[in-house]
Structure 1
């Protein structure tokens, strides 16, 4: 057995900066606003058994005979309505969050390597983990940008990471942030964002907290997502001093015919408009960065629905994205969850320890 290659790989690196790495993850996005790219993305996304909990043979038939031949074309048109010159908004904002977070940690004297990976699409979790391994990371904090835990998001992210790490000979010490729906910094950032919108463009009669939906049977099976969403909204409403009846939680982005978490955001907005509510504000606290579901569904499509039903003013409040208060809250979470992990040793001390380990291995006959 030859330990020399391991010594070189792990420790003899001019680029070495920290043995603690942060894997920031998000859902992902197609690489282009085309039917072909969307089909490839949906095939990966909807094949995840955490996302669609159904008999696999039955779902495979539905997916490949009905969903994938039809759905990519209308979805591609939706992406085209929000696509930016630099690419997909989700990827643009997620990269900004990752870079801002790296800068904030450096400013705090926390020499941790931040890498961004998407659960579906590119850059993949596999690519991000390999980037961290090449950086010599020995302690890994996984940070999915999903404030409210769900098995279909955070749980699925864990599955993907475990699959990659199962192929590694030496896996890093591992921790994971599974939720932060009630973290004070996150709640404060949300409240500040809403107040800032009200100061800039005025306040509506109602505030809608819209979260991504899930099939109701996921809740009945024990998924805590529904409860976490309601707690986030209630705590933010408390910070804003909102009266009962001036705000409500709803769920968006349902897919298929089965019952999902209610009330549905589009139905509620139509009902409000028809019953005389003229001005509404909409915020989506479950989305750390803006994406198709916020920029197209909530900022465009549901705005048109509300106005057609009799409403007069509809204001979408942007996701937190790379707002400084958001980045500060995320950095606070990282510091909280890396407590007990000493700052990375100096390169010299690591090299010396590696050299001694290698010499001991030789003494015990590792090359024999």
Structure 2
């Protein structure tokens, strides 16, 4: 089918999904967001009778105020960084797809938790005539805690529909050439401006080690991304490492932990570290506050400088990759 051919079918919906964030950097909004997020059994695999008293009796009483302060430190004029950049990604993706195939695609953005809800975005796509929908979770590496939770939510929405659209989804793109190329280009561009640090730290969001032991492929896919990026940048083994951040609670999580790696490097005289988060397609609290502010401050106290390389966000080569991913996955629908 010629990319400029007139529309012969109903539009193809493309749903970009990310994790979500509170509506405001305030304790009440954070409490509502955390209550939804931490109630998901994909996120916390614990019996409800055990988890509910901890969540509602302790965590939701203590954590919201502290998290609200963290959100406030990175909040943008337009709102949560994650939502702001996600909207920019949706706009950019729509523009590329419209140039490639006018009138064929309709892009919407949704959050798994918080707003805009997935159910509302899916309803709108169907109301606009989309009989086929590609769900694209912006999680490069698959995990049951993220991608599978998105699919659970889509399934729950489908169960309430009478006229079902065709639905497919992207499970992961951990080492897709276009994704790795976009990451490598962002690192090289940063080094061209700022010079190359002594070490490159690739920090991924963690999950409990038990989840991986039970078969979650997430750590393997993180390793695949890290190795592919290191190869694209022609790095020697002693020039980089990967680690995991954002652990929660007393149980063991995937390691090594990002903060432990920084302490070890500082102890051995490393003074300049460049950090990026290849598991985050979009900047958010975990990249901007945890890495760029908190860990950078801690590393500075150890006489070092940690420089954060931003997520790909709506960078042109990132959006071109996502557009290629969409068109390849939906090619049979356009035949």
What range describes the TM-score normalised by the shorter chain of this pair? Answer: over 0.9
**What SS is found at the alignment partner of 1:151?**
coil
- 1: CA distance, partners of 2:211 / 2:177: 27
Which residue, 177, 182, 189 being the options, matches 1:189? Answer: 182
**What SS is found at the alignment partner of 2:320?**
helix
Counterpart contact for 1:274–1:310, Cα < 8 Å: no
Runs of 4+ in 1 over 4 A off after TM superposition: none
**What SS is found at the alignment partner of 2:146?**
helix
- 2: CA distance, partners of 1:18 / 1:177: 21
Deviation at 1:339, TM superposition (A): 1.9
Matched, 1:275 2:280: no
Task: Name 2:192's counterpart in structure 1.
Answer: 199
- 1: CA distance, partners of 2:170 / 2:208: 24
Deviation at 1:154, TM superposition (A): 0.2
Task: Name 1:326's counterpart in structure 2.
Answer: 318
Worse-matched range after superposition: 146-155 or 168-177: 168-177
Task: Name 1:113's counterpart in structure 2.
Answer: 106
Map Cα deviations across residues 80-134 of structure 1 (whole Å, 9 max, x no partner). Answer: 1011111111000000001100001001115201111110000000110011011
**What SS is found at the alignment partner of 1:338?**
helix
Task: Name 2:224's counterpart in structure 1.
Answer: 231
**What SS is found at the alignment partner of 1:71?**
helix
Map Cα deviations across residues 322-351 of structure 1 (whole Å, 9 max, x no partner). Answer: 0000000101111111121126xxxxxxxx
Worse-matched range after superposition: 105-114 or 285-294: 105-114
- For the pair shown, the structure with the greater C-alpha radius of gyration is 1
Matched, 1:37 2:23: no
- 1: CA distance, partners of 2:12 / 2:70: 39
Deviation at 1:174, TM superposition (A): 1.2
RMSD between superposed Cα atoms in Å? 1.1
- Flag structure 2 segments of 5+ consecutive residues without an equivalent: 1-7
Task: Name 1:245's counterpart in structure 2.
Answer: 238
Normalised by the size of structure 1, how large is the TM-score? 0.88
Task: Name 2:139's counterpart in structure 1.
Answer: 146
Counterpart contact for 1:17–1:135, Cα < 8 Å: no
Counterpart contact for 1:18–1:113, Cα < 8 Å: no
- 2: CA distance, partners of 1:28 / 1:165: 21
Counterpart contact for 1:89–1:291, Cα < 8 Å: yes
- 1: CA distance, partners of 2:321 / 2:289: 27
Matches within 5 A, 1:60-79: 60-79=52-71
Normalised by the size of structure 2, how large is the TM-score? 0.96
